[in-house]
Every structure is written in C-alpha cells, then in structure tokens.
C-alpha cells in the first residue's frame, strides 16, 4: 500500500534521507519513507498489508519521530510489488522487463530496470521471436546476475524480520562489506551499498543469533527513555461526527476538564505520546482506521499502553463489544452515550458496569445542559 504525505506548511529544509522500518506490525514486512521535493512517499509492503495497516504505521512513525506531525494523506492506494524473480520471464508474444520480471522490496533504484530493458533489446535482436532462443539469450545469459540479486533481496527481508532488534546492526555490517558486484549490480534502497547478497548474509547470521538468543533469555519489556507525565483532567475525543465531538466536548468541559477533539485520527498517536490524557473516547467508525485497531495499537506501545481508552459505537452488538474489550478498551459505550454513565466511569465514582444505579444529579446547570444536548 503506497501513499503520498503532505504537510500543511511547506518544508523549507528536507533532509534527503530514506528510512526503512522493518516489521512495524505483524502484517507489515517493512515501511519505506522516501522524501521528495514537496512531499514524502510512503510504502508499506507485505503479503497481507491493507490501507488501514499503512495508516496505523504512519501514526506510529509520527509518534516516534520518523515523520513530522501534521501530515495529511494526499493519495492512498494498493499496488502490487514484485518480490523476487518472476517464474516466467519470456512467453509466446511476451517479454517481461523491469519490475515485472524481477525485483525485491529493497530495490528502489532504476539501474537494474534500465539494464534489463537494454538486455531485452539485445536478446530480441539476437534471438528474434523464438521463445527458446529468447530464454537462453535473455534469461540464462543476460539476467543471471540480476536475478540472483533479486532473489537475495527478497530472502533478506525474511531474515531481517527474524533478526528483530539485530536488524539495524546487520544492515550496517553489510554496508561495510566489500563485495564484487557486476556491471549493473547496485545496493539496496538506491544506495551504493550494501548489495542484496551482502545484506542476505548479514541478515541470516543476525536472524540465527536472535533465534538462539531467544531460547536463552526471557522477554524484557521495552522501557521508554522519557515517559511524559499524565495530565489530569485532559481528555481526547476522537469521532468523525462533528455533532458528536461538539456534544462530548461540551459535556466534559462542563466538569472543568480540558478536552481536545480530533476529527482525523492520524494525529492521535502523536498527541497521546507527548501529552498523555486522563482518558480517550474513541469512536469505532473513523475515516482511515477503525477505532478497535486504533485502541489495540495504543495498548501495544510502552508510551501509551497505560492510557485509558473508552470505545463508543452505534453498533451495539455482542461481537463488537467483545472486540473492543479484547483490543484493550476499558469499556464499551453504545451510542448515543449515556452522559451520567460516562461521567461516572471517568470520575471513578462507581464501577464500570452497565447495570449501575443512576448517577447523582448534575452539580450545576452547565453539566445538565451539556448532558441534555448530547442525549438529544
């Protein structure tokens, strides 16, 4: 899944640094972030990756400082990405060149594609339209070196995933190795090095060490270097319905709390990591990512896993309620949300159970007005 990221204000200085994040999610093998003149190209690849996966990974990347905050998605689409050499490079009436013939997710340069086009032209001149002659001249004699690189690059991805935290070190070690490359052989990610074969060797060794090390150690939870302090009486409301956002904001502000409402969930991860709130009120149906996946992502990161999350939905079904609880939500609130029950949950004056007794009367007229407004 690929996307184009734009910022509200143009960037005066944009460091020409491509970033690669290996296995940010179980369904995402890797995330590319390639800066351009006025935007950033993002590519999340994997056999089962979805647009929602890319959006969630981008929120995580913004939270961790890999991309700047305040971006918007100018384009988002699913695309097919070559993963290793194709099985059929020539067929009657067809000749595959470029990414259609071979490729791997770490190959973003043009040299291999241009080389395959040149060698295809030579093969057509020498072999004509005979499939056997084309295969010998183009595949076996012409593309052997590049096909080997493509296969190595594809296998390197698998080993980098297995290497886990050792993957960056393996990449650096592979970059420092000198390997004998061919005329058109280049490095991954458009760099001069490492070559796919060198990267495969380093990644395989790192993956094996990580596998053996996992047998000898217990899992240690990562500890953030800096943990922001919780801001009391700060609530985040995430809902794409403007009327619901406004009503919830008025209800919570009537108690003296501070409320930040989000119409776009892409900025939520950054806000939670920098200003942890007392709780997050999260709608299930959002624009890019469903609220259940958003809640699950918040609960998986060390900086946000202790944040209270309350899931809201107009679809009051047992399976939706159970999914919300499995994702880490503190409770599930059917829409329209009962103001008294919501305030009881947030203030902690009663257990989080739907069958509780009605809350005491509102403390002031503002609270009653906000509650009536939301109920309507």
As a whole number of angstroms, the distance between CA 291 and CA 281 comes to: 10
For residues 262-281, average pLDDT: 83
What's the confidence (pLDDT) of residue 304?
80
What's the confidence (pLDDT) of residue 362?
40
Q: Strand 308-313 and strand 331-334: pairing?
A: parallel
Q: How confident is the model at residue 85 (pLDDT cuts 50, 70, 90)?
A: confident
Q: If you count them, how many residues does the chain have?
A: 376
For residues 281-291, average pLDDT: 86
Which residues neighbour 225 within 8 Å (Cβ) at sequence distance 6 or greater?
Answer: none
Q: What is the mean pLDDT of the chain?
A: 81
Helical (H) or strand (E) element with 341: helix 339-347
CB-based contact 190:113 (threshold 8 Å)? no
Q: Comparing C-alpha atoms, which of 226, 194, 208 is closest to residue 164?
A: 208
* Domain segments of the chain as ranges: 2-77, 90-216, 234-375
What's the confidence (pLDDT) of residue 246?
92
What's the confidence (pLDDT) of residue 367?
47
* Percent of the chain predicted with pLDDT > 90: 23
Residue 191 has pLDDT above 80, yes or no: no
Residue 350 has pLDDT above 90, yes or no: no
Residue 358 has pLDDT above 60, yes or no: no
Residue 237 has pLDDT above 90, yes or no: yes
Q: What is the CATH number of domain 234-375?
A: 3.40.50.2300
For residues 50-71, average pLDDT: 84
Give the pTM: 0.71
Q: Comparing C-alpha atoms, which of 49, 54, 80, 82 is closest to residue 154?
A: 82
As a whole number of angstroms, the distance between CA 167 and CA 153 comes to: 14
For residues 180-195, average pLDDT: 70
For residues 336-363, average pLDDT: 63
Residue 96 has pLDDT above 90, yes or no: no
What's the confidence (pLDDT) of residue 99?
72
As a whole number of angstroms, the distance between CA 270 and CA 62 comes to: 6
Q: How confident is the model at residue 325 (pLDDT cuts 50, 70, 90)?
A: very high
Q: How confident is the model at residue 15 (pLDDT cuts 50, 70, 90)?
A: low
Q: How confident is the model at residue 92 (pLDDT cuts 50, 70, 90)?
A: confident
- Range from 59-68, 182-191, 251-260, 355-364 carrying the lowest mean pLDDT: 355-364
């Amino acid at each position: 899944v690929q996307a184009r990221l734009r910022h509200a204000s143009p960037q005066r200085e944009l460091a020409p640094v491509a970033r690669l994040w290996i296995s940010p999610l179980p369904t995402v093998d890797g995330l590319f972030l390639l800066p351009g003149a006025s935007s950033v190209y993002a590519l999340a690849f994997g056999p089962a990756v979805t647009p929602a996966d890319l959006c969630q990974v981008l929120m995580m990347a913004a939270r961790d400082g890999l991309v700047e905050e305040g971006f918007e998605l100018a384009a988002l689409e699913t695309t097919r990405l070559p993963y290793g050499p194709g099985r059929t490079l020539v067929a009657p009436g067809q000749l595959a060149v470029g990414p259609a013939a071979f490729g791997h997710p770490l190959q973003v340069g043009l040299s291999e594609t241009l080389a395959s086009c040149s060698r295809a032209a030579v093969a057509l001149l020498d072999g004509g339209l005979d499939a056997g002659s084309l295969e010998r001249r183009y595949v076996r004699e012409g593309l052997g070196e590049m096909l080997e690189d493509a296969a190595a690059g594809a296998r390197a991805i698998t080993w980098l995933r297995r290497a886990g935290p050792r993957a960056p070190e393996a990449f650096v070690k592979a970059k420092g190795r000198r390997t004998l490359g061919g005329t058109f052989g280049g490095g991954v990610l458009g760099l001069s090095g490492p070559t796919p074969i060198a990267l495969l060797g380093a990644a395989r060794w790192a993956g094996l060490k990580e596998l053996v090390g996992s047998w000898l150690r217990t899992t240690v939870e990562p500890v953030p270097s800096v943990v922001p302090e919780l801001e009391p009486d700060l609530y985040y409301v995430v809902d794409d319905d403007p009327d619901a956002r406004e009503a919830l904001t008025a209800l919570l502000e009537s108690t003296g709390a501070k409320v930040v409402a989000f119409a776009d969930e892409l900025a939520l991860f950054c806000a939670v990591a920098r200003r942890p709130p007392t709780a997050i009120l999260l709608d299930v149906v959002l624009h890019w990512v469903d609220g259940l996946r958003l809640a699950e992502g918040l609960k998986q990161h060390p900086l946000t896993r202790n944040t209270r999350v309350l899931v809201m939905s107009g679809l009051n079904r047992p399976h939706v309620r159970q999914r919300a609880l499995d994702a880490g939500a503190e409770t599930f609130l059917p829409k329209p949300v009962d103001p008294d029950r919501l305030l009881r949950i947030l203030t902690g004056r009663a257990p989080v159970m739907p069958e509780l007794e009605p809350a005491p009367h509102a403390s002031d007229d503002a609270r009653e007005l906000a509650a009536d407004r939301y109920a309507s």
